[in-house]
Structure 1
């Protein structure tokens, strides 16, 4: 018999205990139901923390694989602690699932209809569980989706890929480049104003990597009247600049698209391709 109290002491996203939680839900009712509901609440909290961190990509001098690993471990334990205090989700799940307990067959113990709550354990062959999309991601995708679709028709690049890049460059629209007086530039892609640009510009402090070292610099960026113009200019840049030919050639592959942009010098961040790939594959819906 599995002890639910022992399982609840584990990290929120301990994949070794996923199948054990399933068994606990079946064997120990109602204790198993409560344990699984709390673990699902912890999972939900961890997804929120992860989404918040991805919305603000870290590109500081101390950002590396080790720091990201320990940050992930901290988020896991923090989500478990928050779930232990409770935010109300577990109680709602318990009430709903308790009503779905079916009468036991002869010789069998009744159990809650809980398996769909917990992600499938590795190797079980169960289908992939769709992640809950945060509200700010939904709003970003809904607001800018039509402009991305228009740009997709002219470049062949999936709208989702361009939305992912706009999200990375602008922090889901929350770090959009603005003028000194606060006027928005509508520049979601961080496109600089080079010698061939004769439109409006804004100056902004940005992080550039020189030989792998992060440095703060003041740069001039293009400014647009609206987001539609920003997407159109982005599409024109990729089509007209020869350095992005390989990007267009790999337009249907997420990794190829992200790595192509980095190789072409779109950004100096050495982790740009990895960050963009994660946003496209993990945060945006199809």
Structure 2
């Protein structure tokens, strides 16, 4: 019915919208592919925003046509297998509609890997066993992830541009540090600190602070103690301070410009961002996890 989607064809999109209200296997497959196309388009846009735009040929016109090209590229990739998101959505929609599962084999996203960096949302593997706390960060409700992404995406994009990394890396780290915002540091009277990255207040910090209990690891052994953390006036300030910290500290030089989630996480841990010996592994799982992926897709609708 809609084997080929042209993002510039209004009639095709109207037909897709009409089909979304049908509960047939064909309409569900087409709808799932379009959702994945929207997600891929958002990833491409995020990647372009990390590239400096100061060349002689850069203008609003070139941005416009690049955007159109990315739209069509995302649609084509989704039609040819994508990153596996469409297949997952299709299975869920078929189950909700009481229809038998599709017979198609799971896709691997190999077509996307030939065009995008390895760190940009590959097909999600099965989530291994992790601790309850990290499991909650990885498998939070999609609605929580959607609200978190929508609230932070503009600020994350700006900070990511400074560090030349994908914006969803920073959203994922903020999600891990705060449990999708539910464990964000607060003052004694309950006011928010907006400290999304749990950055401590060292001797050089002259701004507001808040004391809070935290878990630190010494020689691999977890210990609870009270530390002093920075407090900000907004999420924008938090992202700006995080970007400044990573950009200006030689310890985190290897994290800048990273397009691979695991390499980004390992660079932060190697620089001493956290004392948890499993921090890089946990951060990678959140960045590449289904919860963040679903939140990005939902917020792009």
The TM-score with structure 2 as length reference comes to 0.54
Q: What does residue range 182-201 of structure 1 map to in structure 2 within 5 Å?
A: 182-201=190-209
Displacement of 1:248: 1.1
161, 167, 170: which one aligns with 1:162: 170
Contact kept in structure 2, 1:120 and 1:128, CA below 8 Å? no
- Larger relative contact order, structure 1 or 2 (CA cutoff 8 Å, min sep 6): 2
91, 102, 115: which one aligns with 1:115: 102
Could you list the runs of 5+ residues in structure 2 that have no partner in the other structure? 1-92, 109-121, 127-138, 297-301
Corresponding position of 2:261: 254
256, 271, 284: which one aligns with 1:277: 284
196, 202, 212: which one aligns with 1:204: 212
Corresponding position of 1:213: 221
* Structure 1 pair 232–91 and aligned structure 2 pair: CA distance change class (3 A): closer
Root-mean-square deviation (CA), in Å?
2.9
CA offsets per residue over residues 10-49 of structure 1, 9 Å max, x none?
xxxxxxxxxxxxxxxxxxxxxxxxxxxxxxxxxxxxxxxx
Q: Between Structure 1 and Structure 2, whose CA radius of gyration is higher?
A: 1
Contact kept in structure 2, 1:145 and 1:163, CA below 8 Å? yes
Contact kept in structure 1, 2:124 and 2:288, CA below 8 Å? no
The TM-score with structure 1 as length reference comes to 0.56
Displacement of 1:93: 2.5
* Structure 1 pair 91–157 and aligned structure 2 pair: CA distance change class (3 A): closer
User: SS where residue 236 of structure 1 aligns?
Assistant: helix
Paired residues, what number? Answer: 176
Q: Is 2:157 aligned against 1:149?
A: yes
Q: C-alpha distance in 2, partners of 1:254/1:121?
A: 21
Q: C-alpha distance in 1, partners of 2:151/2:202?
A: 28
* Structure 1 pair 115–206 and aligned structure 2 pair: CA distance change class (3 A): same
User: SS where residue 188 of structure 1 aligns?
Assistant: coil
Q: C-alpha distance in 1, partners of 2:107/2:239?
A: 41
Q: What does residue range 8-87 of structure 1 map to in structure 2 within 5 Å?
A: none
User: SS where residue 153 of structure 2 aligns?
Assistant: helix
140, 146, 156: which one aligns with 1:138: 146
Displacement of 1:157: 1.7
Displacement of 1:201: 0.3
Contact kept in structure 1, 2:178 and 2:197, CA below 8 Å? yes
Q: C-alpha distance in 2, partners of 1:202/1:179?
A: 6
Corresponding position of 1:226: 234
Corresponding position of 1:27: none
Contact kept in structure 2, 1:189 and 1:234, CA below 8 Å? yes
Q: C-alpha distance in 2, partners of 1:274/1:175?
A: 20
User: SS where residue 175 of structure 1 aligns?
Assistant: coil
Corresponding position of 2:111: none
